[in-house]
Amino acid sequence: MESHCRVLELVLGTLAIIHLVLAQDQHAGFISLDCGLPAEELSPYDERWTGLRFTSDATYIQRGKTGRIQANRESEFSKPYTTLRYFPNGTRNCYNLSVEKGRKYLVRATFVYGNYDGLNIKPKFDLYLGPYPWTTIDLQGEVDSGRVEMFHIPTSNSLQICLVKNGATTPLISALEIRPIVNNTYTTVSGSLNLLFRTFLNKSETEIKYPSDRYDRVWTWLFRNEWTQIYTTLQVNNLNDVYVPPEAALTTAATPTNTNSPLMINWTSRNVDNQYYLYTHFAEIQELRTNDTREFNMTWNGEHYYGPLVPPKFNGITVFSRSGKSCKGGECSLQLKRTNRSTLPPLLNALEVYTVIHFPQSETNENEVVSMQNIKTTYGISRISWQGDPCVPQRLMWDGLNCSNTDMSTPPRITYLNLSSSGLTGTIAASIQNLTQLETLDLSNNNLTGDVPEFLGNMKSLVFINISRNDLSGSIPQALQRKGLELYPQGNPRLCFSGSCLLPKPKPFPVAIVASLASFISLNFFFCTALRRPPFISSSVNVTNANPPVSSIQTNKRRFVYSEVTNMTNNFQRVVGEGGFGIVYHGTLNVNKQVAVKLLSQSSTQGYKQFKAEVDLLMRVHHTNLVNLVGYCNEGDNLALIYEYMPNGDLRHHLSGKGDRSIINWGIRLRIALEAALGLEYLHIGCIPAMVHRDVKTTNILLDEQFKARLADFVMQRTTRSFPVGGESHVSTMIAGTPGYLDPQYYRTSRLTEKSDVYSFGIVLLEMITNQPVIDQSREKSHITQWVEFELISGDIRTIMDPNLQGDYDSHSAWRVLDLAMSCANPSSTKRPSMSQVVVELKECLASENSRRNMRRGRMESHSPAKVSMLIDTGMLPVAR
Ligand X SMILES: *[C@@H]1O[C@H](CO)[C@@H](O)[C@H](O)[C@H]1NC(C)=O
Active site residues per annotation: 695
C-beta closer to ligand X: residue 541 or 596:
541
Q: Which of 166, 212, 220, 542 binds ligand X (CB under 6 A)?
A: 542
3-state SS, 219-254, equals EEEECCCCEEEEECCCCCECCCCCCCCCHHHHCEEE
Q: Which of 115, 237, 373, 656 binds ligand X (CB under 6 A)?
A: 373
Helix (H, G, I), strand (E, B) or coil at 635: strand
Yes or no: say if 774 and 740 are a contact pair by the CB < 8 Å rule.
Answer: yes
| Listed residue (279, 313, 310) closest to 296, CA to CA | 310
Task: Select the span of 49-57, 95-103, 135-143, 411-419 touching ligand X (CB under 6 A).
Answer: 95-103
458 binds ligand X (CB under 6 A): no
Count of residues binding ligand X (CB under 6 A)?
Answer: 41
43 binds ligand X (CB under 6 A): no
Which parts of 549-568 interact with ligand X (CB under 6 A)? 567
Q: Report, in Å, the least distance between residue 455 CB and ligand X.
A: 9
Q: Which of 14, 136, 183, 235 binds ligand X (CB under 6 A)?
A: 183
343 binds ligand X (CB under 6 A): yes
Residue-wise burial string across 164-199, b where 16 or more C-beta atoms lie within 10 A, e elsewhere? bbbeebbbbbbbbbbbbbeeebbebeebbbbbbebb
270 binds ligand X (CB under 6 A): no
Is 598 assigned to a binding site? yes
Helix (H, G, I), strand (E, B) or coil at 304: strand
Q: Report, in Å, the least distance between residue 445 CB and ligand X.
A: 5
Q: Report, in Å, the least distance between residue 113 CB and ligand X.
A: 19
C-beta closer to ligand X: residue 136 or 590:
590
Yes or no: say if 657 and 688 are a contact pair by the CB < 8 Å rule.
Answer: no
Which parts of 99-158 interact with ligand X (CB under 6 A)? 102-103, 158
| Listed residue (545, 559, 570) closest to 642, CA to CA | 559
857 binds ligand X (CB under 6 A): no
* 494: amino acid identity, one letter: R
Which parts of 782-811 interact with ligand X (CB under 6 A)? none
Q: Which residues pair with 585 in a beta bridge?
A: 575, 597
337 binds ligand X (CB under 6 A): yes
445 binds ligand X (CB under 6 A): yes
CA 76, CA 492: separation in Å to the nearest integer?
63
Q: Which of 89, 204, 258, 706 binds ligand X (CB under 6 A)?
A: 89
Q: Where are the beta strands (DSSP E) in 52-141?
A: 53-56, 65-68, 83-86, 92-98, 104-112, 124-129, 132-138
CA 275, CA 211: separation in Å to the nearest integer?
31
Residue-wise burial string across 432-446, b where 16 or more C-beta atoms lie within 10 A, e elsewhere? bbbbebbbbbbbbbb
C-beta closer to ligand X: residue 155 or 823:
155
| Listed residue (532, 531, 518, 528) closest to 554, CA to CA | 528
310 binds ligand X (CB under 6 A): no
Q: Are strands 709-711 and 31-34 parallel, antiparallel or unpaired?
A: unpaired
CA 646, CA 593: separation in Å to the nearest integer?
11
447 binds ligand X (CB under 6 A): yes
Q: Report, in Å, the least distance between residue 842 CB and ligand X.
A: 15
304 binds ligand X (CB under 6 A): yes
Q: Which of 251, 365, 648, 850 binds ligand X (CB under 6 A)?
A: 850
Task: Select the span of 47-55, 368-376, 435-443, 485-493 touching ligand X (CB under 6 A).
Answer: 368-376
266 binds ligand X (CB under 6 A): yes
187 binds ligand X (CB under 6 A): no
Helix (H, G, I), strand (E, B) or coil at 831: helix
293 binds ligand X (CB under 6 A): no
431 binds ligand X (CB under 6 A): yes
333 binds ligand X (CB under 6 A): yes
Yes or no: say if 610 and 723 are a contact pair by the CB < 8 Å rule.
Answer: yes
CA 821, CA 842: separation in Å to the nearest integer?
10
Task: Select the span of 16-24, 309-317, 442-450, 772-780 touching ligand X (CB under 6 A).
Answer: 442-450
| Max intra-chain CA distance, the chain | 125
CA 753, CA 692: separation in Å to the nearest integer?
6
Residues that bind ligand X (CB under 6 A): 88-89, 96, 98, 102-103, 158, 183, 264, 266, 289, 291, 297, 304, 307-308, 331, 333, 337, 339-340, 343, 367, 371, 373-374, 384, 423, 430-431, 434, 445-447, 540, 542, 567, 570-571, 850, 873
Report the binding-site residues for ATP. Answer: 598
